[in-house]
Amino acid sequence: MIMNNTVKLILTDIDGVWTDGGMYYDQTGNEWKKFHTYDSAGVLLAHQHNIPVGIITGEETEIVRRRAEKLKVDFLFQGVKDKLETATQLCKDLKITLSEVAYIGDDINDIALLKAAGISACPNSAPEQTKQAVQMVLKKNGGEGVFREFVEKIMEK
């Protein structure tokens, strides 16, 4: 479907993509997120093809930092207000163009980057406005291994 040699960087949102979008808090102030292990295989698959992976999220949590570190994600940007600006700067640093980026996001703060990326996708659970902005609406919902599904689609020949 998509030639993987055109993709030089895979970027992803977290909440609503790697998670189901829920934010869980307990009475002592702890925050919880549930990640699907299938998505870790997506990072491994990208790395096997020498494609770096980056996370761009508006949230800033230790949970995401720890997950990114555990999976050896190449780039982590938290607390981002303008995801397109962050991605554009990263592309400049890597000497690639946005047309060589594959991005998966799920909500309105992702739309500008989804429209600018060479390959764009969202989970099936994304709002309609996001679905209209992407090239691929994937079968899985956020938090069900949709990042892995995205990487596998990119790697199809």
Among 108, 114, 110, 107, residue whose Cα is nearest residue 136: 114
Which residues does 113 contact at the CB level (< 8 Å), separation at least 6?
Answer: 11, 56, 83, 84, 87, 103, 105, 120
Angle between helix 146-155 and 38-48 (nearest 10): 30
**What pLDDT is attached to residue 25?**
87
**What pLDDT is attached to residue 29?**
85
In the predicted structure, residue 40 carries a pLDDT above the cut 60: yes
**What pLDDT is attached to residue 4?**
53
Give the mean pLDDT of the chain. 94
How confident is the model over 70-81, as a mean pLDDT?
97
**What pLDDT is attached to residue 11?**
98
Residue 95 CA to residue 110 CA, distance in Å, equals 22
- State the CATH number of the domain containing residue 34: 3.40.50.1000
Domain residues for the domain of 65 are 4-155
**What pLDDT is attached to residue 82?**
98
**What pLDDT is attached to residue 22?**
86
In the predicted structure, residue 26 carries a pLDDT above the cut 80: yes
Between CA 154 and CA 103, with CA 5 as vertex, the angle to 5 degrees is 45
Q: Would you place residue 1 in the very low, low, confident or very high pLDDT band (cuts 50, 70, 90)?
A: very low
How confident is the model over 37-58, as a mean pLDDT?
96
How confident is the model over 74-81, as a mean pLDDT?
98
How many folded domains does the chain comprise?
1
94-142: pLDDT as tens digits: 999 999 999 999 999 999 999 999 999 999 999 999 999 999 999 999 9
In the predicted structure, residue 2 carries a pLDDT above the cut 50: no
Among 108, 121, 124, 128, residue whose Cα is nearest residue 156: 121
**What pLDDT is attached to residue 5?**
66
Give Dmax over CA atoms of the chain in angstroms: 49
